[in-house]
Amino acid sequence: MRIKKGSAKSALLVGVFTVMLAFVIGIGSEILLQFLSAFWMGLLLLLVIIFLGIFFDLLGTAVTAATAPPFNAMASKKITGATQAVRLLNNAGKFANYCNDVIGDVCGTLSGAVGAGIVVKVLAAYPFMDAALLSALITGCIAGLTVGGKAFGKNIALNYANQVIFRVAVVMAFMETKARVTFFKNKN
């Protein structure tokens, strides 16, 4: 079995990007968690991180389930977002990788770290609590919300794949017009 040179380079870039993203978001979350004195604010940060992981998992699943013919027809009619949807589907592997693996896994790791930070804050305020029980409770809640949320998101992604991708493509079209950035080049 031979590995293409471009595949190894792409995997290396994804790995480096993931390390940088996790580092930046991790530092930001830790700093934010230190300044959030209220317990509920730490929980809110945790829920935002879990929601982001669920949302990007939904997007990654939708792009692999969407079909191109409706978007090709829309692109021929010059409907805003259709060209971006075609480019998304042509780059479904990359997009799904970034959404599911990079962002999803970073969010999963960070939710565990933020959960541990919440446990430390609660134990500092209430030292009589059982640390092992509290840690297991927070970990169970994080896992339940993440897995349950991703299952719900996958259901939406599979049943409404084209609608989800079209909405993402419309946002991309808006950003490309306003910020003059191109997210994916057309494949040859």
Along the chain (188 residues), what's the average pLDDT of each consecutive run of 10 residues?
A: 61 72 71 67 88 96 95 93 93 91 86 86 88 93 95 96 96 87 66
- 114 in a structural domain: yes
- 144 in a structural domain: yes
- 179 in a structural domain: no
What pLDDT does 110 receive?
A: 85
What pLDDT does 143 receive?
A: 94
Q: Which two tokens stand for residue 75?
A: 């692109």
What pLDDT does 124 receive?
A: 85
Residue 146 · residue 111 · CB < 8 Å: yes
- 171 in a structural domain: no
Domain count, the chain: 1
What pLDDT does 179 receive?
A: 76
Q: Which two tokens stand for residue 11?
A: 């995997």
Show Cβ contacts of residue 128 under 8 Å, excluding neighbours closer than 6 positions. none
What residue numbers bound the domain in which 24 lies? 5-65+95-160
- 51 in a structural domain: yes
Query: What Cα–Cα distance (Å) separates residue 133 from each residue in 123, 129, 136, 137, 161?
Result: 11, 8, 5, 6, 40
- 170 in a structural domain: no
- 188 in a structural domain: no
Task: Tell me which residue has tokens 């978007």.
Answer: 71
Q: For residue 141, which of 29, 30, 50, 28 has the smallest C-alpha distance?
A: 50
What pLDDT does 118 receive?
A: 86
Residue 154 · residue 62 · CB < 8 Å: no
- 56 in a structural domain: yes
